[in-house]
């Protein structure tokens, strides 16, 4: 019998090509003798935010590449589930698939610690605090409240006061070798800094961290909310503001600690590892939701500038920079590392659109695509509102009206309400530009041994954005839409049909719109 040639789906080809690039890294990891690997050998690590997007990737890479002794993971009860119930759920996600095959018992190295970063003492009981302070030698403080519209009290308790509690815990750790604080590149992307270079340095803040904590602890909620506009003046939201204050807290209160700050920009799906394109489902409520909406044919207009530089960085680059940064805190205490792309390898909104048109729309669409994929960009507020009305609002009412006539539940208006909310929150970042200097991060990478440069690669200069965006979209398909990376050709045929229908409907909508204008004017 002749063996049949199995034709691989284009989306699977993209994924497999990315997997193939892991081989040199895997070969070096197996040796286990690199400088960074030696730093982490038999280390006991404490991680906050380990159940989040970056935190999961961090834990996975630490366990896959190093012989870690133990990881203490701060976790809180959620939706009535105990820590024992939550732990298997968190570590059953696809990002741990390779680790699970290589180390089936890797969970034995992870010990959950009940707590909550929003609570005093991180909500950790005295017994667990004593264990941590006696055993832990490396701390990664990754936890944060990333809701841009978070009330100032909640943002302060989670992003700022929690950092104070981490510093206090670190000071009591008898074997501490390194503390890494995960901030954001946008902590000082203020209005006054638009169009300038944000450097890897500390910046002045309008209020002291301790005063802000005191206000959150003592001032009435309504009164504090009324003070928010004045407090965060110059910052786009409470998230960036409280992260800036947390950096200042590191500067003033952690002077004698081996500490560094890592500032990632907009974190997107993995470039290469552990699972190419992997992204946490929770990320769809941010920039990844915009990309997903465009590739699914839902989002057709955005308020952006085509020449505007976006600062994107894959999650594996962020994690690799974070892991290596921890090894330098003794020699370079209080160093700040911007992990982004605008300084040495930017991509503009226009270039992103070109990739979507020339690569994604013509070869990688999901069979679950919902409509014709195209995006019209405008920086003019009124043109954007008009386009949004024509391309989002009117079609939503038409589709939902048809669904109601068919006895089905309307859905499109609710989807666009969510999209509008995300777009509103991200508008500041989609219409302005900063260049995030990354000289320290480049120096960090260049200072690694050749083996560690392979294992913990994070030099953004070699990023091919067209290839990365394809891997990113494949990841959105596999881990968010969950279409199995099958039937891409069907998706392309389906999209062609939608394109024809869309042009017909668009012509009809324009005709009706012009007719209404003539009636009233």
Tell me the average pLDDT across 354-363: 89
Q: Which residues pair with 263 in a beta bridge?
A: 338
pLDDT in tens, 385-421: 999 998 899 889 988 898 899 898 988 899 899 888 8
Q: What is the pLDDT of residue 5?
A: 58
Tell me the average pLDDT across 317-335: 97
Rounded CA-CA distance 29/98 in Å is 13
pLDDT in tens, 150-159: 999 999 999 9
Range with the poorest average pLDDT among 189-198, 255-264, 423-432, 510-519: 510-519
Rounded CA-CA distance 377/380 in Å is 9
Question: Residue 395: which of 377, 412, 376 has the closest Cα?
Answer: 412
**Higher per-residue pLDDT: 82 or 235:** 235
* DSSP labels, 437-504: --HHHHHHHHTS-HHHHHHT---GGG--HHHHHHHHHHHHIIIII--TT--HHHHHHHHHHHHHHHHH
Q: Which residues pair with 378 in a beta bridge?
A: none
By the 8 A CB rule, do 485 and 15 touch? yes
Q: What is the pLDDT of residue 77?
A: 87
Q: What is the pLDDT of residue 305?
A: 87
pTM, rounded to two decimals:
0.94
Q: What is the pLDDT of residue 2?
A: 45
Domain boundaries, the chain: 23-277+310-345+432-460
Q: Above 80 in pLDDT, residue 374?
A: yes
DSSP structural state of residue 98: H
Q: 3-state class of 119 per DSSP?
A: coil
Tell me the average pLDDT across 455-472: 96
Backbone angles phi, psi at 153, to 5 degrees: -65, -50
pLDDT in tens, 30-52: 999 999 999 999 999 999 999 99
Q: What is the pLDDT of residue 424?
A: 86
Q: 3-state class of 254 per DSSP?
A: coil
CATH superfamily of 23-277+310-345+432-460: NAD(P)-binding Rossmann-like Domain (3.40.50.720)
Q: Above 70 in pLDDT, residue 519?
A: yes
Q: What is the pLDDT of residue 3?
A: 46
Rounded CA-CA distance 248/267 in Å is 23
pLDDT band at 1 (very low <50, low <70, confident <90, very high): very low
């Amino acid at each position: 019998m002749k063996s049949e040639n199995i034709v691989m789906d284009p989306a699977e080809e993209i994924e497999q090509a990315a997997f193939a690039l892991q081989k040199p890294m895997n070969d070096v990891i197996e040796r286990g003798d690199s400088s960074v690997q030696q730093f982490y050998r038999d280390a006991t690590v404490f991680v906050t935010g380990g159940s989040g997007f970056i935190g999961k990737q961090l834990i996975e890479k630490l366990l896959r590449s190093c012989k870690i002794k133990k990881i203490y993971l701060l976790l809180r009860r959620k939706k009535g589930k105990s820590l024992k119930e939550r732990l298997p759920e968190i570590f059953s996600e696809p990002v741990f698939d390779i680790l699970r095959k290589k180390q089936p018992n890797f969970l034995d190295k992870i010990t959950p610690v009940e707590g909550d970063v929003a609570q005093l003492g991180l909500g950790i009981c005295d017994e667990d605090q004593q264990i941590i302070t006696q055993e832990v030698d490396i701390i990664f403080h990754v936890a944060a409240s990333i809701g841009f519209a978070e009330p100032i009290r909640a943002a302060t308790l989670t992003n700022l006061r929690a950092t104070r509690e981490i510093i206090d815990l670190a000071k009591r750790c008898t074997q501490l070798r390194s503390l890494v604080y995960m901030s954001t590149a946008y902590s000082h992307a203020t209005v006054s800094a638009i169009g300038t270079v944000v450097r890897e340095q500390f910046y002045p803040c309008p209020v002291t961290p301790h005063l802000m904590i005191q206000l959150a602890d003592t001032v009435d909620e309504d009164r504090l909310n009324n003070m928010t506009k004045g407090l965060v003046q110059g910052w786009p939201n409470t998230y960036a503001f409280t992260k800036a204050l947390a950096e200042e807290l590191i500067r003033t209160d952690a002077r004698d600690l081996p500490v560094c700050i890592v500032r990632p920009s907009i974190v997107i799906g993995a470039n290469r590892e552990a699972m190419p394109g992997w992204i946490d489902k929770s990320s769809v409520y941010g920039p990844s939701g915009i990309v997903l909406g465009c590739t699914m044919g839902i989002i057709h207009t955005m308020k952006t500038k085509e020449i505007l530089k976006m600062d994107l960085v894959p999650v594996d680059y962020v994690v690799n920079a974070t892991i290596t940064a921890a090894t330098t805190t003794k020699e370079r205490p209080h160093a700040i590392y911007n992990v982004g792309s605008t300084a040495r390898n930017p991509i503009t909104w226009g270039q992103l659109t070109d990739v979507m048109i020339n690569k994604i729309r013509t070869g990688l669409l999901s069979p679950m695509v919902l409509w014709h994929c195209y995006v019209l960009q405008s920086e003019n507020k009124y043109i954007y509102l008009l386009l949004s009305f024509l391309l989002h609002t009117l079609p939503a009412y038409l589709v939902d009206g048809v669904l109601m006539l068919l006895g089905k539940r309307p859905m499109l208006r609710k989807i666009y309400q969510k999209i509008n909310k995300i777009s509103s929150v991200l508008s500041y970042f989609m219409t302005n530009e900063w260049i995030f200097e990354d000289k320290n991060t480049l120096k960090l990478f260049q200072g690694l041994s050749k083996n560690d440069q392979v294992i913990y690669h994070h030099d953004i200069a070699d990023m091919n954005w067209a290839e990365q965006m394809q891997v990113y979209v494949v990841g959105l398909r596999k881990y968010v839409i969950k279409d199995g990376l099958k039937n891409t050709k069907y998706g392309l045929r389906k999209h062609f049909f939608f394109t024809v229908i869309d042009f017909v409907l668009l012509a009809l909508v324009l005709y009706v719109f012009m007719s209404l204008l003539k009636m009233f004017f």
